[in-house]
Structure formats: structure tokens, C-alpha cells
């Protein structure tokens, strides 16, 4: 499998990238969207459902992360898919010097506009999220079996890794056996001159006529070996 540094996407191959909470149209250029405002991560109480913001477009997705859990994260096995996928894509996962916990670091130069990876995880409906994270519905048998599976495999149940998609469904990257290494990418602001983000997420991509309605990450500048890969979670994120 090729490393991410070898998967370079040219501007001409990305005619309709659309980022969440962008005011641009579905046909906006790649560079227009790079300069668009970052989407918003809306921190909500676990007992409340997330609400869409008025600035989203018909082709964009809202994103919801809940407040960080007040307990220690479980130690993830190096055999889990989140860690193994990093090895396959030549990404180094280790502790960050800034005290953010684990982070994702490049092991080879990455050119601007390179496709980095998808935000992969467990697909969930709003109904499932209501019962499993927000206590907005009584859990049924399937929910209880899901909870037992998470606990028995030492996986957390916080809702901190939920990504709210445009169609009302969610991607949950908290289960390290079902998510990939992108879950380890930390926040960096687009406005911070000293620690500016080098990756951006797009929720609609059209490459070679094939459309993808899924969170996908692209480099927004050249990235050097050893740099931490970070993206802007948005101004309301509790993880800033």
C-alpha cells in the first residue's frame, strides 16, 4: 500500500470540495474552500441532542463533539485498528509535547493538497446516539449488547468522537477497533501563527467524477517530516 505522501491530489482533480459550515457553494474551488471559515464543533451536554447551525449548506455536514470526559482514557492496545492503520499509512502515533495526549505525526514529507485519510469509525443513526450517549432514549437489546461489547473490550463510551454528517447520521471513532489513526489528530487553530493547523477536513469531495460524502482530510500546506498533523476543530470545541 502506498504511503499518504504518495497519494497526491492535484487541484484539477478536486473541483467540488465542500467543507462543513462553509459559506461556499458545492462547486467552489479547492483554494476557495481552503480559505473558508472552519466548521464548528458544537459542545453540548450529553443529555441534549445536537442542533444544526444556521450557517451550514445543503451539501455540508454539521459536527458534534461532547465535553471531554472527566476520567482517564483507557490504554489502547497497539494491536487495535487505530494503531495498526497508522503503521500501514506510515503515521507515527506518540505523546505530544504540549500535553494533548497522543498525536499523529508525519514520517515522510507530505505535499500540499495531499489526501491524508478519512475519519473512519462506527456508523450510527441519531436514534442509536440518543440511547448510547445522550440518555435521550431508553436503551433496547441492541444498545445493551453494544454497550457490553465496548466495555468488554476496554473501549470508552463518552461520545467525544462523534462526527455529525450532513444526512443526520454519525461517525463514532471512539472504538479503537473500528476507527483509524485520524482519531489521534489534535486541534490547531487556522488563526494561530505559531501553531497553525496543517490539515483540513472536507465532507464532500468529487474526485474523477466520484463523489464522497464523508469526512476526508487534506494537507493545506507542505508538511515536513516529524510535524504533528492537526486540524481546526472550530471555535466552540471543548478540545481547543
Average pLDDT, consecutive stretches of 10 residues, N- to C-terminus, the chain (240 residues):
40 32 33 41 32 29 41 80 96 90 96 96 97 97 97 94 91 97 94 85 87 91 97 67
Residue 130 in any domain: the answer is yes
- Cα separation, 166 vs 213, whole angstroms: 8
Each residue's pLDDT tens digit, 139-191: 999 999 999 999 999 999 999 999 989 889 999 999 999 999 999 999 998 88
Distances (CA, A) of 108 to 90, 101, 104, 177: 8, 22, 12, 26
Residue 48 in any domain: the answer is yes
Q: What is the pLDDT of residue 191?
A: 82
pTM of this prediction? 0.70
Residue 69 in any domain: the answer is yes
Longest pairwise C-alpha distance within the chain:
50
Q: What is the pLDDT of residue 52?
A: 28
Residue 197 in any domain: the answer is yes
Residue 178 in any domain: the answer is yes
Q: What is the pLDDT of residue 95?
A: 95
Residue 237 in any domain: the answer is no
Residue 206 in any domain: the answer is yes
Dihedral sign, Cα of residue 102, residue 106, residue 112, residue 113: negative
Q: What is the pLDDT of residue 90?
A: 96
Domain that holds residue 159: 4-231
- Cα separation, 95 vs 103, whole angstroms: 6
Asked if residues 126 and 170 have their Cβ atoms less than 8 Å apart, the reply is: yes
Residue 127 in any domain: the answer is yes
Q: What is the pLDDT of residue 72?
A: 65
Asked if residues 203 and 166 have their Cβ atoms less than 8 Å apart, the reply is: yes
Task: Provide the CATH number for the domain around residue 129.
Answer: 2.170.270.10
- What's the domain count of the chain? 1
Distances (CA, A) of 184 to 58, 86, 151: 29, 10, 21
Asked if residues 174 and 121 have their Cβ atoms less than 8 Å apart, the reply is: yes
Amino acid at each position: 500500500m502506498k504511503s499518504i505522501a504518495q497519494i497526491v491530489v492535484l487541484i484539477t482533480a478536486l473541483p467540488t470540495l465542500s467543507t462543513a459550515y462553509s459559506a461556499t457553494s458545492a462547486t467552489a474551488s479547492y483554494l476557495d474552500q481552503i480559505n473558508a471559515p472552519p466548521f464548528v464543533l458544537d459542545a453540548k451536554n450529553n443529555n441534549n441532542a445536537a442542533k444544526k447551525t444556521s450557517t451550514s449548506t445543503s451539501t455540508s455536514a454539521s459536527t458534534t463533539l461532547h465535553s471531554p470526559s472527566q476520567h482517564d482514557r483507557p490504554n489502547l492496545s497497539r494491536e487495535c485498528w487505530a494503531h495498526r492503520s497508522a503503521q500501514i499509512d506510515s503515521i507515527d502515533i506518540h505523546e505530544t509535547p504540549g500535553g494533548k495526549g497522543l498525536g499523529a505525526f508525519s514520517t515522510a514529507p507530505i505535499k500540499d493538497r495531499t489526501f491524508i485519510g478519512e475519519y473512519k469509525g462506527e456508523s450510527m443513526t441519531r436514534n442509536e446516539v440518543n440511547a448510547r450517549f445522550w440518555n435521550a432514549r431508553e436503551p433496547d437489546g441492541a444498545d445493551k449488547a453494544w454497550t457490553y461489547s465496548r466495555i468488554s473490550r476496554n473501549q470508552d463510551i463518552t461520545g467525544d468522537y462523534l462526527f455529525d454528517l450532513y444526512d443526520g447520521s454519525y461517525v463514532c471513532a471512539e472504538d479503537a477497533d473500528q476507527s483509524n489513526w485520524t482519531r489521534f489528530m489534535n486541534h490547531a487553530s487556522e488563526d494561530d501563527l505559531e501553531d497553525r493547523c496543517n490539515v483540513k477536513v472536507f465532507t464532500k469531495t468529487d474526485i474523477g467524477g466520484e463523489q464522497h460524502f464523508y469526512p476526508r482530510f487534506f494537507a493545506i500546506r507542505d508538511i515536513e517530516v516529524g510535524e504533528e498533523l492537526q486540524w481546526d476543530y472550530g471555535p466552540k470545541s471543548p478540545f481547543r
